[in-house]
Amino acid sequence: MENEPAFFETSPKPNVVGKPLNRVDGRDKVMGRAKYAAEYPLPGLTYGVLKTSDIAKGRVQSIDTSVAMKEPGVIAIFTHENLPKLAKTPNDADGKKAIGAPMGFMPLTSDMIYYAGQPVAVVVADTFERATHAARLVRVNYAADKPIAAYTNPAAQLFNPEKIQDGKADGHTRRGDAKTALAGAPVKLSATYTHAINHHNPMEPGATTAVWEAPDRLTVYESTQGVTRTQKALSTMLGLPQEQVRVITKFIGGGFGCKGSCWPHTVLTVQAAKAVGRPVKLVLTRQQQFTSMGHREDQTQTLNVGATQDGKLLALVHTKTSTTSPWDNYAEANSKIINLLYDCPTFESSYELARANVMTSTFTRAPGEAPGSFAIECAMDDLAYQLGIDPIEIRLRNYAEKDPSTGQPWSSKSLRECYARGAELFGWSKRNPKAGLTRDGNTLVGWGMATASYPVHNSQGTARVRLYADGHAVVQSGATDLGTGTYTVMTQVAADSLGLPPEKIRFELGDTKLPTAPNSGGSVAAGTVSSSVYAAAQDVWERLTKIAIKDPKSPLFKAKPEDVAMENGRLQLKASPAKGEDFMALMKRAGLDDIEGTGQGKYGAGYETGRPGNPAGPNNNTESAGKHSMHSFGAHFCEVHVDPQLGTVRVTRWVSVHAAGRILNAKTARSQIIGGSIFGIGAALMEATARDPNYARYTNADLADYHIPVNADIPDMTVEFIDEHDPYINAMGVKGIGEISMVGVSAAVANAVFHATGKRVRDLPITPNKILGTKAV
């Protein structure tokens, strides 16, 4: 850490960092100039369309492509019988690990059918319409078996996995003797929480355009949250050196986790392009989106709470049961947040899985923390009501001054300030302590709140700065802008780091030809990439300083490098700032048109310990490797109007206050918190994918019947940030806000519903059928 100077020290007064700069890519987006993965009009482009399985379990007995092949424009149809083999598949554990695949199964490698919607053929034609039509004409005969649809099926076999989430989290955790503590606790609560299947449903579905530039060289325009991870997966599966696969993602229409991995449709597109010798573009239909890129799994959690009469926690015992695929032990790690959110001396958690005929579920915004916080934050609310303690007060009584799960001190924690400011903005002090008593016409009014928290994962990245003598710079890092503002905030960081106005900076991202950056996921992008950009700029200044102190014509001639500082693009002596010069003058004198610097930014425990990590690897469970536990914290406050006769719940007021280290752009950060909160309100009130219990097939796989919030569902939202200085997490002091915005949201809504009605709904989403029958207390 000592070796890496921090932004705080070198730039105590940021000029544009933190300011509400407008999006630098906003104009291109509204003008239609921003190109997405399916928008590259390449010469000779062909169109790929998936044919997917009608059954959820069984075998393909035969496929007849003869009729489809005769259709005009059809170039090729690939099935498991004729698709060229991959060098490596994720069908075995070693392959899966080498590829970094999200799912231990690659379709079209055999005649086996494991889930409804599994690809069984890829049709390539000269137009999208012809490919779509031909796919319909492909005749598939299935030998169907009876599928298992979910863990709730009585025939499902439950098991306790040793590891969950692809081996990244423990299936069983124990701290102290929670069961004994629970048995002896004066106050006990036990409740079960159910979460529906949720789909990410980004506006832009999965999309791939694959171009083989040479028989062993591939370019893929891909809708992905991580170009490098996709590059690694594809090169491993194809048996190519990694650098011979180029992945480009300049813009992406939302991801939310489903684009955090390389999924089968991308691989099939690449294989098809190779086989037909022409570029192939494949875009998932909305229906296919539901069975191609994972989902948040259907799950039930039971949380047992033991406490004193004063509301002090004594024991937490948590279990989770959920559905996984035939191959993988995937479960969101819900228990992590439950283990650390409050000061509780004992804790125990375990996971139970059932294999079913579904594809593998995957990270969905705040994986684990979102549903986990629903359980713990509803339970804290229940405890508060049962003991007659204000919900904020009970949280303060259990305030964790260090991380209870590891015993580490926090790198920073401003949760008290979040509670206080949120309560003030919301008017919490006027809350009626009794539930079910506030009426407004036909509706009952309720207020609820919940805590949010999200870890600073261990991550690192790289960036390159090329500074030109004419006073502008190109800054590059192979990150992804999920639409949240990466282009913009990195422009700001580069501007301050180089002492230039933001309009003199061009920031480039989304290409494996650029310096490697991590996936934009797990809230790591802002902190990792900004630190990398900052470090690369520091490298430029070091190089320029070396030139200056050797240049007899420079005012800094013979100065010691450590005595030189950069201020607003000027190199000068720390002790006497008047002695120095502008970098442009220096570079011109030295005959330099440009100068390049590179930097590596570490984020999380790696920054504190100085240990290397794999920038493009999956989020590894090494957050606790350093001295400190690193988390962002926040609080959501919610008002609902519940119509107990019609069952409708409307969110009418919303306040979110977060402390997440340095906020790089006040405007894009506010938007991101609003977006995440709406994502959470969707999960709380309406989002649920229905899977038929007998056919293991979704029955509402479109955006008319899978409900996400519309404008009319969302009130004006108040968002604030608490100023927070954290020197331990990275050079920029940035924690990231992609996930925390949604953590605790469903609990805040459910707690408000309870306050309104006196009825506790623990089954998400809280749709009208679950409210009906509610009488005012």
Catalytic (active site) residue 369: no
Q: Which helix (H) or strand (E) holds 599?
A: strand 594-603
DSSP code string of 478-522:
B----SSSHHHHHHHHHHHHHT--GGGEEEE-SBTTSPB---S-T
Q: For residue 154, give every residue at least 6 positions away whose Cβ sits within 8 Å of its Cβ, in sequence order, or none.
A: none
Tokens, residue 670 = 């506010």
Q: How far apart are CA 306 and CA 379, in angstroms?
A: 11
Q: 């001639």: which residue's tokens? A: 557
Identify the active-site residue in 204, 377, 687, 739: 739
Nearer to another protein, 98 or 708 (CB): 708
Q: How far apart are CA 719 and CA 722, in angstroms?
A: 10
The residue ranges of DSSP E strands in 678-728, in sequence order, are 717-721
Nearer to another protein, 151 or 507 (CB): 151
Nearer to another protein, 118 or 373 (CB): 118
Q: In angstroms, what is the minimal distance from the CB of 655 to another protein? A: 21
* Beta-sheet strand order (sheet of 505-508): 505-508, 473-476, 459-468, 594-603
Nearer to another protein, 145 or 702 (CB): 702
| Residue 21 neighbours by CB distance under 10 Å | 20
Q: In angstroms, what is the minimal distance from the CB of 748 to another protein? A: 18
SS3 content of the chain, % helix, strand, coil (to 5): 30, 25, 45
Q: In angstroms, what is the minimal distance from the CB of 347 to another protein? A: 36
Nearer to another protein, 133 or 296 (CB): 133
Q: In angstroms, what is the minimal distance from the CB of 133 to another protein? A: 7
Nearer to another protein, 3 or 711 (CB): 711
Give the closest residue to 101 by CA, choosing from 198, 225, 228, 230. 230
582 with 570: CB under 8 angstroms? yes
* Beta-sheet strand order (sheet of 217-222): 74-78, 119-125, 46-52, 280-283, 207-214, 217-222, 245-248
Q: 């960081």: which residue's tokens? A: 493
Tokens, residue 349 = 């958690």
Q: Which helix (H) or strand (E) holds 417?
A: helix 415-426
Side-chain-facing half-sphere of 222: CA atoms under 13 Å: 36
Q: Give CA separation, 630 vs 339, 728, 761, in Å.
A: 14, 8, 32
Nearer to another protein, 311 or 765 (CB): 765
Q: For residue 163, give every residue at least 6 positions away whose Cβ sits within 8 Å of its Cβ, in sequence order, or none.
A: 169, 170, 171, 329
Q: In angstroms, what is the minimal distance from the CB of 220 to another protein? A: 27
Q: How far apart are CA 193 and CA 761, in angstroms?
A: 9
Q: In angstroms, what is the minimal distance from the CB of 703 to another protein? A: 9
Q: 């900004």: which residue's tokens? A: 530
Nearer to another protein, 64 or 702 (CB): 702
Q: 């913009």: which residue's tokens? A: 488
**Chain residues in the site for another protein (CB under 8 A):** 54-55, 116, 129, 132-133, 136, 287, 442, 645-648, 650, 685-686, 690-695, 697-702, 704-705, 707, 709-713, 767-769, 772-773
Nearer to another protein, 172 or 707 (CB): 707
Look up residue 702 and give its DSSP letter. S
Q: In angstroms, what is the minimal distance from the CB of 63 to another protein? A: 16
Q: How far apart are CA 436 and CA 771, in angstroms?
A: 13
Q: In angstroms, what is the minimal distance from the CB of 64 to another protein? A: 17
Q: In angstroms, what is the minimal distance from the CB of 711 to another protein? A: 8
Catalytic residue annotation = 739
